[in-house]
A and B are shown apart, each in its own frame.
Chain A
Amino acid sequence: MELLSEDQQLIADSATGFLRAGHSIAAFRALRETGDTANIAILPELAKMGWMGIVVPEELGGIGLGYRAAGLIAEELGRNLTVSPFVSSAILAGTALSTSNSQAQKIWAPKVAAGEAVLALALDETAKHRPDRVVTKVTGEADGLKLNGRKTYVVDGGFADRLVVTAKRGDDLCLLLVDPLAAGVTLTSQVMLDSRNAATVVLEDVAVRDADILAQGQAAERALAKTLAAGRAVAATEQLGIAKAAADQTYDYLRTRKQFGVHIGQLQALQHRAAELYCELAQVSSLIAAALNALDSDSADVETLTRAAKAKMARVGQQATEEGVQMHGGIGMTDEMDLGLFMKRDRALAEFLGDAGHHTEWLLRQRGI
């Protein structure tokens, strides 16, 4: 039911072709075997197709096709479980850089778009996403600024060239770039349940130059809001791809598996559960498309739509992966099947940038209850 522009259709076709051919689930399994959580080898290929600069404007070295186009890529990344720094670097850092106006922007946006650098967002400080409770702080005078704090769930932080760190400077929010190799930075890289990388970062008296500050005050609030909105919508789109893949495998299984002398897809109890899942996937697809379109048109309902999309997709993603395992029965519990891989990646994305409860709470507050 996609209504796409010509450019968007081209992106969709190349995403399908490229990822299914060389970066399928088999490739993910091979990376997992070798303990490679970065898949850095894919970066030049993504950059060559323009994907790392998909939301970065042309004057900063990107192709500026926007978020709906980015979603088409993310959905295929989800479907194929492709490991890449697309969401962390191209979308989150790409958006943060594109919406800040600073010296650092001019240097790093082209590098991100060209795949010459990977940037990771260091935002969360607690196990739950609370972007408005930042304790990490910048203190001191110009040319003698120090950064102190602790960050967690820094996705792709283990191999990033720079961290985009949120911190408070007095009452002002700051977005600043930190070199993970700088003195005072202790970065612990972790392998997460989805075989991806996330780091915890301790910042102790890290020296910050003015040139490292991407944005401060209201400009930083604006840049972060857009960054998180974009991240939510694109992460939800990756989840949508996962959920659709899990559902497709499940529908196939219902058509072929026999028990009691019949295909189990003939059993109404399972038919109805499959059809219910199908309906949920159909409507959440529309919501996600609306959220991505809202980002592209900078419309007033960006916050509402991206949060609703993230919250709704968290529930549908869980439904798709859990129903997938349950309808497969015992074999769905084995590592040989893909369902467990889908479930783990879905779980990580459901938590990333705020779970269903977080965004539902925002909506309730916004509606005055």
Chain B
Amino acid sequence: MDIDTFRSETRAWLEANCPAEMRTPMGEDDICWGGRTFEFRSPAQKQWLKVMAAKGWTVPAWPKAYGGGGLTGDEQKVLTEEMHRINARPPLQSFGIWMLGPALLQFGTEAQKRHYLPQIARGEIRWCQGYSEPCAGSDLAGLQTKGVDTGVHFEVTGQKIWTSYADQADWIFCLVRTEPDERKHTGISFLLFDMQSDGVSTKPIKLISGASPFCETFFDAVKVPKDQIVGERGQGWTIAKYLLTHEREMIGASDSALFAKSDLAEDAVSAIGLDETGRLDDPMLRADLGQFLIDEICFDAHLEMTGAYMRAGHELGARSAELKYLGTELNKRRQSLRVAAGGSDDLVWEGTANDAGQVAKDWLRSKANTIEGGTSEVMLSILSKAVLKLPG
């Protein structure tokens, strides 16, 4: 189908099928994560997921055989543009879509793909990611959670931390040290298991924003059937690195609520007002906004170019660290400017006024952007070695 026909058909389909309530701006609470225990916030949210999943458009890039839309790069771009045009919310967001899916597509067996991917596409199973540990943060490959081969199972014991939404997840994809005699990077395997298994427990961590999106996750002799390994034994780090690359591209380019773009200029004017020359009545904030707006235009252009580059069939590789670094540092500035523009109004924390401090909460949340998925400093170290080829 030529791309113009695809566009007009997509536009008509979205017009007919996207409920009006799914065309309004969304906060973090409005995200549809799917999963066994997910409670839809409205019938419209449930309907929107259903029709999009039936089209394969919760995961438009995946092959149709695995529940995807089988769209080409150009078609995906059109779908995104058409959804933006009507402010359509993403029907489903999940670590299954962002992380596990791409790993399975690359490293999974055919049976694993046919079993797990359609469940992700339909939002039936919600996944969490078991990577970081208390003693393995930036030095992720130093992880100690162990998986002992008992013949039929890996018996998994240890602790993970910063496991996003572990308390609400159905399954986990988890890095586990199964080869204790191998070296640091080659002793790790990539295991999948049900969070309802005996021996799994979770404990939410309260953050400075007041929310608890992350958990501590404990494993006490959890029995994981040996066919629930992705790739080979000891190949976990390779898969994890592949996924981190993917995650960084995604965080950098994110469309998610974390990076929801408000119109900073408009917000600032409504909060502060203009002086008699028609300029924002706060010259220093205005100057900071000016620099920010230039940098935002610049980063948007870079995302656009990078997208075109990847659609032309090129791999980004280590350069995903560049997007992650730039995108997250920029978002921190965006959130700082938003909260500064609001002045004391944005210090309101509780109650119904001022959206219960949402701007301040977003600002605090954004501080994690340059930590999660690899810190800015780790990104710069990756770039200095992999791209600039600096020594050591």
Contacts and interface: CB of A to CB of B under 8 A. Distances in A.
Contact of A271 (B298, B314, B380): B380
B305 A289 contact: yes
A274 B390 contact: yes
Interface stretch (B8-16, B147-155, B266-274): B266-274
Interface residues of A, number: 39
Contact of B384 (A262, A274, A364, A365): A274
B384 A283 contact: no
Interface string A340-369: 000000000000000010011101110111
A265 B304 contact: no
B321 to A, nearest CB: 9
Interface string B202-243: 000000000000000000000000000000000000000000
A287 interface: yes
Nearest to B390: A265
A363 B298 contact: no
Interface in B242-294: 265-266, 268-269, 274, 278-280, 286-287, 289-291, 293-294
B299 A283 contact: yes
Interface of A: 1, 3, 251, 254-255, 262-263, 265-266, 268, 271-272, 274-276, 278-279, 282-284, 286-287, 289-290, 304-305, 308, 311-312, 356, 359-361, 363-365, 367-369
A262 B392 CA distance: 10
Given A360-B291, A369-B269, A255 B298 contact: no
B289 to A, nearest CB: 7
Contacts of B265: 364, 367-369
Nearest to A262: B392
A277 to B, nearest CB: 9
A264 to B, nearest CB: 9
A303 B220 CA distance: 61
B74 to A, nearest CB: 14
Contacts of B268: 369
Going nearest first, the 7 A-B pairs with the smallest beta carbon separation are A266-B392, A271-B384, A286-B305, A265-B390, A286-B302, A283-B302, A360-B290
Contacts of B289: 364, 369
Contacts of B377: 272
Given A3-B309, A275-B381, A255 B390 contact: yes
Interface of B: 265-266, 268-269, 274, 278-280, 286-287, 289-291, 293-295, 297-299, 301-302, 304-306, 308-309, 312, 314, 319, 322, 325-326, 377, 379-381, 383-385, 387-392
A276 B380 contact: yes
B326 A283 contact: yes
10 contacts: A251-B389, A254-B390, A271-B388, A275-B379, A278-B383, A286-B301, A286-B306, A361-B290, A368-B265, A369-B269
Contacts of A284: 298
Given A274-B384, A361-B290, A279 B390 contact: no
> Could you say which of A282, A283, A287, A367 has the most chain B C-beta atoms within 10 Å of its C-beta?
A283
Nearest to B389: A255
Contacts, number: 126
Contact of A312 (B294, B309, B381, B389): B294
Given A272-B380, A368-B266, A369-B265, A278 B388 contact: yes
B151 to A, nearest CB: 45
Contacts of B385: 271
Contacts of B391: 255, 262-263, 265-266
B387 A278 contact: yes
Contacts of A275: 379-381, 383-384, 387-388
A363 B290 contact: yes
Contacts of A312: 294-295, 297-298
B111 to A, nearest CB: 38
A360 B279 CA distance: 13
B297 A305 contact: yes
Contact of B294 (A255, A274, A308): A308
> Could you say which of A265, A275, A276, A360 has the most chain B C-beta atoms within 10 Å of its C-beta?
A275
A200 B279 CA distance: 34
Contacts of A272: 377, 380-381, 384
Contacts of A361: 290
Contacts of A360: 287, 290-291, 293-294
Nearest to A356: B294
A20 B377 CA distance: 36
A364 B305 contact: no
A286 B297 CA distance: 10
B290 A287 contact: no
Nearest to A268: B381
Nearest to A288: B301
Contacts of B302: 282-283, 286-287
A100 to B, nearest CB: 30
A283 B269 CA distance: 29
Nearest to A248: B388
A304 B383 contact: no
